Structure 1
Amino acid sequence: MTITLNDPVRIGGLNLKNRLIMAPLQQYRGTPDGYAGNHHVEHYGRSAKHVGLVIAESTAVSPNGRLWKNDIGIYTDRHIEPLKRVTDAVHAYRTPIFVQLSHGGRKSSPEVTAALAAPSAIAYDEHYGTPEALSCEGIQRVIEEYRLAAKRSVQAGFDGIELHAAHGFLIHQFVSPLSNTRTDAYGGSTVNRARFLQETIAAIRGEVGKDYPVIIRISATDYSEGGLTPQEWARVLKPLEPELDGIHVSTGGLLPVQPGDVYTAYQLPHAAAIKAHFSIPVIAVGNIHTRSLANRILEDRLADCIAIGRPLLEDPDFGARMLQAQEPVGRAG
């Protein structure tokens, strides 16, 4: 059966009208206390017209886990109402919206972070500085922050959660052996390095139930020898597949290194490698900006959905053109 970008798809119990997803991109427009504002309402509302799903930008679960001084958060009940305005704006187009729950760990903003924490006392770089290794009690406090954030996500009207385990942030730091050198139950073997992620998902599921969509965003490679690969991620995530409804595949961010070449669909091989191991939907992202390429990826079963980010920042109607027969104009690859 031929699959195109226009075809519906299910993520958990949620039916998406098409397979085009708005990727999470930071807006840098939150208040000093992490509240969403009019910009977020307008931006997400106008971008929701055509896509099958909106994934909102990184939303901090802890005041000590914010990625930037002007990001948004969901770490108090006071954050719920501003975010409800965002979800209402998206729902006006009958489009679902997921929140991306994040904690920066050692990459939390020094400008707004009182205590930099990570699995191990290993600095990302001089700008961030050296974090303190989380105690087992500290790990449980962070997991509780994720649980409460999940509860608030439902109250704010989000239709699902994307758990941010990519780009070098806290969950990614626990999973990668390059940033996790612990010798206790949360470090060492693949199973132990995945324990923080497993317990976080269990806490979220305990709050939202089994039918509420929960997906995960991963960096499939650390771009460094000894780091994570799609095969290692498959070992991490396969036992968790019954608790997940999708995998969003990105790359990098754990170390201050960049991919050698950012070409059209440069992350697709990693998404395809992940998809080979799973039956839940896999989302490909990264310079996939034409309908013909997106359809070819879907037809070849290399991914199940396509996420786009920057084109929607420049033109909220870009998605409409990707879903039409003609190619979008004025944008390569």
Structure 2
Amino acid sequence: MTVTLTDSVKIGGLTLKNRLIMAPLQQYMGTPEGYATNHHIEFYGRRARHVALVVVESTAVSPNGRLFPSDIGIFTDRHVEPLRKITDAVHAQHTPVFVQLSHGGRKSSPEVTKRLIAPSAIAFDDNYGTPEALSLTDIESVVMEYRLAAKRSVQAGFDGIEIHAAHGFLIHQFMSPLSNKRTDAYGGAPENRARFLKEVLQAIREEVGRDYPVTVRISATDYAEGGLTPGDWAIMLKPLESGLDAIHVSTGGLVPVQPADVYTAYQLPHAAAIKPHFGIPVIAVGKIYTRSLADRILGDRLADMIAIGRPLIEDPDYAERLLMTRERQDDGERLTVLK
């Protein structure tokens, strides 16, 4: 049977009404303390009407892991109630909502971070500065921050969690040999570099149970020699698959290198390369903005779901038109994109 964008799909035990996801979109509208505001309530509630799932922007698990001075957090119990107002607004549209739990590591905002930390004392660039390498005690503390954030996520009414292991932030820093030069149990071999993610996932699962959806967002390539590839991620994530419910495939962010070209569906080949290794759904993202292209991706089983972001910033009703419209495109052009 041919799969299309309007077909239902499951993430764990959660059934989604279609296969269109609202990707996490940084709003830069949090308070100085990291609280969500009325802007977030209106923004997410307004865009939740037609997508199958909303993933709220990166939400800091630690005051020392905030990505921006104006991002939102979940690092105290006081953050729960503002976040609950977001989930209530999304649920009013009969749509589930996930929170993306993040820690910036060496890419935490210098303006609000009192202690810059990372797997190894390697700077992202001069603006961020050189981080302090995490001790084993530090690692335990950060894992506990993720555990507490997971507990608060449930209290805030989120239907699932996306672990942010992409875009050069702390978990990604552990995973990549470009940023992880440790010689202990958290560095070196792929299984060691994946240990921090494994412990974070275990801590989250101990809080939320196995039936609560937990996904991971990754950067499939570092766009740099010696960096991660889809094959590397397959090796590191496969042992964790039993604890995950989907893989959201993005790219880049670990080093100050941009892709050579950003074209329609430019990240799709990485999702397609990862998908055959796993039995759980794979989410593709990156300039997939037409119904015909989305259906082709799903029909060819290059991915199981499509995430969109920027069009929803500009047009809150974009998802409705995308789901209702079957556009005509040149097949030859689409085939070139999908090779």
Please indicate, yes or no, whether the TM-score normalized by the shorter chain is above 0.5.
yes
Matched, 1:143 2:134: no
Matched with 2:118 is 118
Alignment check: 8 A CA contact 2:74 2:80 kept: yes
- Distance, in Å, in 2 between the alignment partners of 1:327 and 1:49 is 21
Structure-1 residue corresponding to 2:264? 264
User: How far did residue 83 of structure 1 move?
Assistant: 0.2
Separation of aligned partners in 1, 2:171 and 2:28: 22
- Counterpart residue type for residue 279 of structure 2: S
Question: What is the alpha-carbon distance in structure 2 between the residues aligned to residue 132 and residue 327 of structure 1?
Answer: 51
Structure 2 CA distance for aligned equivalents of residues 136 and 225 of structure 1: 29
Pairing 1:95-134 to 2, within 5 Å after superposition: 95-134=95-134
Q: Secondary structure at the match of 2:324?
A: coil
Give secondary structure in 1 for the equivalent of 2:225. Answer: coil
Partner of 1:154: 154
TM (norm. structure 1) is: 0.98
Distance in 2 between residues matched to 1:200 and 1:302, nearest whole Å:
28
TM-score relative to the length of structure 2: 0.96
Kindly state the Cα deviation for residue 326 of structure 1 after the two structures are TM-superposed.
Answer: 4.0
Map of 1:73 onto structure 2: 73
User: What is the count of residue pairs matched by the alignment?
Assistant: 329
Alignment of 1:219-298 (within 5 A): 219-298=219-298
| Range with greater deviation from structure 2 (142-151 or 318-327) | 318-327
Pairwise mapping of residues 1-333 of structure 1 onto structure 2 (< 5 A)? 1-327=1-327
Runs of 4+ that moved beyond 6 A: none
Deviation by residue 1:40-68 (Cα, 9 ceiling, x = unmatched):
00000000000000000000000000000
Give the SS at the match of 1:276. Answer: helix
Deviations 1:17-59 (A, max 9, x none): 0000000010000000000000000000000000000000000
Q: Describe the SS at the equivalent of 2:89.
A: helix
- Whether contact under 8 Å (1:20, 1:307) holds in the other structure is yes
Paired with 1:80 and 1:327, the residues of 2 have a C-alpha distance of 42
**Offset at residue 327 of structure 1 (A):** 3.9
Distance across 1 between alignment mates of 2:127 and 2:184? 28
Tell me by how many angstroms 1:276 deviates: 1.2
User: Counterparts of 1:179 and 1:325 in 2: how far apart (Å)?
Assistant: 44
CA distance in 2, matches of 1:87, 1:147: 20
Equivalent AA in structure 1 for residue 105 of structure 2? G
| Mean Cα deviation higher: 318-327 or 175-184 | 318-327
CA distance in 2, matches of 1:94, 1:303: 25
The 3-state SS of whatever aligns with 1:201 is helix
Distance 1:217 1:140 in 2: 22
| 2:173–2:179 contact (8 Å) kept in structure 1 | yes
Q: Does the CA contact (< 8 Å) of 2:67 and 2:108 recur in 1?
A: yes
RMSD over equivalenced CA pairs, Å: 0.9
Residue aligned with 1:80, SS? helix
Unaligned runs of at least 5 residues, structure 1: none
Given that residues 61 and 75 in structure 1 are in contact (C-alpha distance below 8 angstroms), is that contact kept between their aligned partners in structure 2? yes
CA distance in 2, matches of 1:228, 1:326: 36
Gaps of 5+ in 2: 329-336
Q: Partners in 2 of 1:116 and 1:25 — Cα distance?
A: 24
Q: Deviations over 1:163-222 (max 9, x none)?
A: 000000000000000000000000010011000000110000000000000000000000
Partner Cα distance (1:232, 1:220) in 2: 8
Is the Cα contact below 8 Å between 1:321 and 1:327 reproduced in 2?
no
What displacement does 1:325 show? 2.8
